[in-house]
Homo-oligomer: A and B are copies of this chain.
Amino acid sequence: MILRIDRLQTELPPPSDPDPAGAAAVQELMGGKFGEMSTLMNYTFQSFNFRNRQSARPFYDLIANIAAEEYGHIELVAAAINNMLTGASADEQAPNDSMLKLKDQGINPQHFAAGGQGALCQDSNGKPWNGDYVFSSGDLVEDLTHNFFLETGARQGKLKVYEMCDHPAARALTGYLLVRGGVHQVAYARAVEKLTGADLMKLFPSPRIPTDKIPESKKHMEKGLHLQLYRFSPDDYKELVAVFNGPHPETGEDLEVVDHAPEGVPPVDLPAQPSVFAPDYAPEEIAEIAQRLRKEAGLPDEPIGEVANA
Contact = CB atoms under 8 A, between A and B. Distances in A.
Number of this chain's copies in the complex? 6
Contacts of A236: 4-6, 305
A200 interface: yes
Interface string A270-310: 11110111111111111101100110111100011101001
A163 B1 contact: no
Contact of A194 (B123, B289, B303): B289
B233 A5 contact: yes
A156 to B, nearest CB: 6
B310 A54 contact: yes
B110 A56 contact: no
Interface residues of A, number: 169
Interface string A45-87: 1001111111111111100110111011011001100100000
A208 B282 contact: yes
Given A53-B307, A107-B106, A242-B294, A232 B4 contact: yes
Given A28-B110, A116-B138, A136-B120, A57 B294 contact: yes
Contact of A273 (B128, B138, B234): B138
A97 interface: yes
A221 interface: no
Most buried by B among A1, A4, A52, A282: A1
